[in-house]
A and B are shown apart, each in its own frame.
Chain A
């Protein structure tokens, strides 16, 4: 747990929020009635509000990015503990310890649970659900199935995409004939799930957010893919750890004769979200995180029973089993620790993948905006990502140039600028903010924004730089965020 804690709090506040963190924290601040942010961030956007609600309880004592991240860290640590319980329940104490160690060090989980994202709480709730489902499978007590239903509801409230794990539950139950289950119990558990979900539509309906919910659903269903098909295969295995995946797969193969419903449960928990999100057009780095605990338990199981009987005789000639066991575990742990350590260092390339951490310079730029730009001033950025960050830290309205005026082509949470030229000419837009992270993703809008800056007497009033390493090894300051003042 100390390793888990250390990796999650080391330099936690060194880099400010990224766009998603800014949005969720902004929502939480709006729920907590922060006088400034409640006028910038709407309470209802896309997702249910379980995590934002929890953050709001903290933000009642003051909005702080560090406090928000500490809540995320606590939830991450709680997930590590639940994974320990799960591993212990399924494969014994040692497997539980190893599974917890793997998750504690896993870059995927470390990176996400250092951020104010919904996926950390989602994984906690889904892992809790998995644990209760395992207890049901083990004891066949319907109460545990009902609890799993409640856990599933919580998972949805953390993030609605968690609902796809119901597919994993049904698949597992359908494939596990040895587990006696009554249809009535499944129905009751499902009802409990939907009862738990009620706060989402109820608050939308009663608290005035129906419109935003419907619009978001429509947009999600028809939006264009944001990544190519190979996004997950190229990013997630690295984040989970190749050795972890290898250990899980080798364990499944070498220990196949000892296989029970347990592996089926974990495999279902992995395959269903992976298959779903691979097909779903919208892809996000953290979307597959619910599968990480299952990988950790399968890998923990493999390491706990390593080496398998097939490789013991030749191995005995060189090394004791215990030493070999410790060596393999150590290698796996180090293979996770090193990338995790690297992942929690600030970016030194000036580029950024959404969901992988804070945006260097974003908080500082936002704070500069808050200190130096008149209240009521409005900004335009390349895209909504930087706009969100500047709004959270800068307390000023910011728009994204790339936000489409076509309602079918934009996130309904975002407000488009229909004619930036006109708005600058009429004194309704005052600053242009260019950033290298958005520019890298959208050269077209970056160029468009700079053209506007040039056209309207753009004058650089602030620059945020990060130290980047060049190919020859030298380190230089690279401007990542540039703020221009514009006027007609």
Chain B
């Protein structure tokens, strides 16, 4: 080996070694391809905000919803105070943003007794009774209709008992990202994400953000200043807290405005894996949940209209429970969680119809699906152990045709079902009567014909004609 060639090898190793592989990223196995193991070529997952399962689907028929007789003690720590509050239908009653910090979660959980939902909020100077409110198909017609047709997961837990930041990290990295569960001042550093893995494998991906502002990153946001509520962009998009995703033009170019989702669908360039987060339509209280439904509806309809539909899975879930009541004690798999259950639904041509999937899942379950579908090694212990959302899919069935689900729970106003028998009898009788009448008159007209040939007046007229 010449000196020059040896130098080239050393430089090559250095170049490869300095490539941002995502910290603990694994090298690509030699025989791996980017082809999926199932008919699913496009996986899309959206993260909405702040609702518990019981808050949205607690009264959905067949789901593990609010148990009959539920009455939440106002103060579980005062044995003399037996006052309790039953769950109530919120309807259009205005609501506030309920506290959903880790400490509130712990109080509400109350060591598995699940009886501190009101008390915890009262401790935050909020109206704790609000936690017992729930929505039903009057407000959630679209989601309930989706559940009727596709898959509703009723044991889908938030990954951590904290709020948005840690749960979004579990969503993309299968890990809390930091010891505290918050975004560290210097970003997430080398914590690997699923996008690192996809990048290594040459599998396409994008992170779509509604009303994306590329200027809002962990480097530019000063809490309480500059960007106001828009600062939540860095909480909901963990990638904006990574130096490598901001500095590498290739990676940064894949964090895009949501408009590109529609364009990608139209152009047939939808990537294999799509993550997306909302902005104004997040359903985060006190925001409009109907606006969120319409937002989700638009995304699903666009997918259904595209060529990608027949090989896609679209699912969405909620980053935390938002302070709302849920009756299922979350299994404690490690010191971070699980947190309370959140709603999660899945739409796909391969989704089971009207299926309530009770597999135990969390935010790492979508990662599990991606990893299994594209032969990707797990990112962390959580996603390695997680169950996949594939339990809601049935690949033995032919892909279902796209079908636009109604926004309203009530069926579209159809014309009143007429009594068709009346039409058949009335018009049929008219025709039969007319035919009989004419036939009888014609047959009995022989005399008339005879008269016609003998009547001098008629003969004269005929002659004229």
A405 within 8 A of B: no
Contact status B305-A39, CB under 8 Å: no
A488 within 8 A of B: yes
Within 8 A of A (CB), among B106-157: none
A363 within 8 A of B: no
Considering the chains assembled together, what is the distance between the CA atoms of A39 and B412 in angstroms? 10
Q: Which residue of A lies closest to B444 (CB)?
A: A143
Interface of B is mostly: helix
Given A143-B444, A430-B404, A154–B434 Cβ distance below 8 Å?
Answer: yes
A354 within 8 A of B: no
Which of B69-77, B195-203, B354-362, B423-431 forms part of the interface with chain A?
A: B423-431
Within 8 A of A (CB), among B159-182: none
A44 within 8 A of B: yes
Given A147-B441, A150-B438, A50–B427 Cβ distance below 8 Å?
Answer: yes
Residue of A132, A397, A487 contacting most chain B CB atoms (<10 Å): A487
Contact status B437-A376, CB under 8 Å: no
Q: Which residues of B contact A375 (CB under 8 A)?
A: 401-404
A23 to chain B minimum Cβ distance, whole angstroms, is 13
A380 to chain B minimum Cβ distance, whole angstroms, is 15
Contact status B461-A196, CB under 8 Å: no
Contact status A374-B419, CB under 8 Å: no
Interface size on B, residues (CB 8 A): 49
A270 within 8 A of B: no
B14 within 8 A of A: no
Which of A8-16, A200-208, A466-474 forms part of the interface with chain B?
A: A200-208
Given A375-B401, A487-B262, A139–B305 Cβ distance below 8 Å?
Answer: no
Considering the chains assembled together, what is the distance between the CA atoms of A248 and B151 in angstroms? 73
Contact status B405-A143, CB under 8 Å: no
Q: Which residues of B contact A44 (CB under 8 A)?
A: 418
A373 within 8 A of B: yes
Q: Which residues of A contact B298 (CB under 8 A)?
A: 427, 487-488
Within 8 A of B (CB), among A404-433: 425-428, 430
Within 8 A of A (CB), among B402-444: 402-407, 412, 414-420, 422-424, 426-431, 433-434, 437-438, 441, 444
Contact status A426-B415, CB under 8 Å: no
B304-316 vs A, CB cutoff 8 Å, 1 = contact: the mask equals 1100000000000
Within 8 A of A (CB), among B46-61: none
Residue of B262, B412, B415, B431 contacting most chain A CB atoms (<10 Å): B415
Within 8 A of A (CB), among B383-403: 401-403
A3 to chain B minimum Cβ distance, whole angstroms, is 25
- Checking A92, A141, A196, A203 against B422 with a beta-carbon cut-off of 8 angstroms, the contacting residue is A203
Given A207-B419, A374-B402, A147–B438 Cβ distance below 8 Å?
Answer: yes
B197 to chain A minimum Cβ distance, whole angstroms, is 32
Contact status B419-A138, CB under 8 Å: no
B103 to chain A minimum Cβ distance, whole angstroms, is 39
A157 within 8 A of B: yes
Q: Which residues of B contact A457 (CB under 8 A)?
A: 262
Given A53-B423, A459-B266, A374–B452 Cβ distance below 8 Å?
Answer: no
Contact status B445-A141, CB under 8 Å: yes
Contact status B427-A53, CB under 8 Å: yes
Q: Which residues of B contact A426 (CB under 8 A)?
A: 294, 407
Considering the chains assembled together, what is the distance between the CA atoms of A434 and B401 in angstroms? 26
Contact status B464-A376, CB under 8 Å: no
Interface size on A, residues (CB 8 A): 60
A479 within 8 A of B: no
Contact status A208-B418, CB under 8 Å: yes
B448 within 8 A of A: yes
Q: Which residues of A contact B420 (CB under 8 A)?
A: 31, 33, 43, 207
A368 within 8 A of B: no
A281 within 8 A of B: no
Given A53-B427, A206-B419, A151–B438 Cβ distance below 8 Å?
Answer: yes
A88 to chain B minimum Cβ distance, whole angstroms, is 10
A135-163 vs B, CB cutoff 8 Å, 1 = contact: the mask equals 10011010110110011011001000000
Given A139-B451, A207-B418, A487-B302, A150–B433 Cβ distance below 8 Å?
Answer: yes
Considering the chains assembled together, what is the distance between the CA atoms of A356 and B266 in angstroms? 38
A456-488 vs B, CB cutoff 8 Å, 1 = contact: the mask equals 010100000000000000000000000001011
Considering the chains assembled together, what is the distance between the CA atoms of A97 and B363 in angstroms? 84
B406 to chain A minimum Cβ distance, whole angstroms, is 7
Q: Which residues of A contact B437 (CB under 8 A)?
A: 146-147, 150
Contact status A143-B415, CB under 8 Å: no
- Checking A30, A139, A202, A459 against B448 with a beta-carbon cut-off of 8 angstroms, the contacting residue is A139
B153 to chain A minimum Cβ distance, whole angstroms, is 24
| Number of A-B contacts defined by CB within 8 Å | 144
Q: Which residues of A contact B414 (CB under 8 A)?
A: 39
Contact status A430-B301, CB under 8 Å: yes
Contact status A206-B422, CB under 8 Å: yes
Considering the chains assembled together, what is the distance between the CA atoms of A39 and B426 in angstroms? 23
Within 8 A of B (CB), among A7-45: 30-31, 33, 39, 41-44
Given A91-B465, A153-B434, A203–B405 Cβ distance below 8 Å?
Answer: no
Contact status A53-B424, CB under 8 Å: yes
A434 to chain B minimum Cβ distance, whole angstroms, is 18
A64 within 8 A of B: no
A353 within 8 A of B: no
A339 within 8 A of B: no
Q: Which residues of B contact A260 (CB under 8 A)?
A: 461, 464-465
B458 within 8 A of A: yes
Contact status B305-A373, CB under 8 Å: yes
Q: Which residues of A contact B305 (CB under 8 A)?
A: 373-374, 377, 430, 485
Contact status A199-B441, CB under 8 Å: no
- Checking A199, A206, A459 against B427 with a beta-carbon cut-off of 8 angstroms, the contacting residue is A199
Considering the chains assembled together, what is the distance between the CA atoms of A425 and B451 in angstroms? 77
Considering the chains assembled together, what is the distance between the CA atoms of A147 and B402 in angstroms? 56
- Checking B266, B304, B407, B444 against A374 with a beta-carbon cut-off of 8 angstroms, the contacting residue is B304
Q: Which residues of A contact B449 (CB under 8 A)?
A: 139
B399 to chain A minimum Cβ distance, whole angstroms, is 13
B254 within 8 A of A: no
B346 to chain A minimum Cβ distance, whole angstroms, is 18
Q: Which residue of B lies closest to A257 (CB)?
A: B464
B219 within 8 A of A: no
Q: Which residues of A contact B401 (CB under 8 A)?
A: 374-375
A316 within 8 A of B: no
Considering the chains assembled together, what is the distance between the CA atoms of A41 and B417 in angstroms? 11
Q: Which residues of A contact B434 (CB under 8 A)?
A: 150-151, 153-154, 196
B450 to chain A minimum Cβ distance, whole angstroms, is 10
Q: List 13 A-B contacts (CB under 8 A).
A: A50-B430, A53-B424, A91-B465, A141-B448, A146-B441, A157-B430, A207-B418, A207-B419, A374-B403, A427-B297, A427-B407, A430-B404, A459-B266
List 14 extra interface pairs beyond A144-B441, A208-B416, CB under 8 A.
A43-B423, A44-B418, A53-B424, A53-B428, A138-B452, A143-B445, A153-B434, A198-B430, A199-B426, A199-B429, A202-B422, A258-B464, A374-B402, A485-B266
Lowest 9 A-B CB distances belong to which pairs?
A376-B404, A199-B426, A374-B402, A42-B415, A139-B448, A207-B422, A53-B427, A207-B419, A207-B418
A residues near B (Cβ < 8 Å) are 30-31, 33, 39, 41-44, 49-50, 53, 90-92, 95, 128, 132, 135, 138-139, 141, 143-144, 146-147, 150-151, 153-154, 157, 196, 198-199, 202-203, 206-209, 258, 260, 262, 301, 373-378, 397, 425-428, 430, 457, 459, 485, 487-488
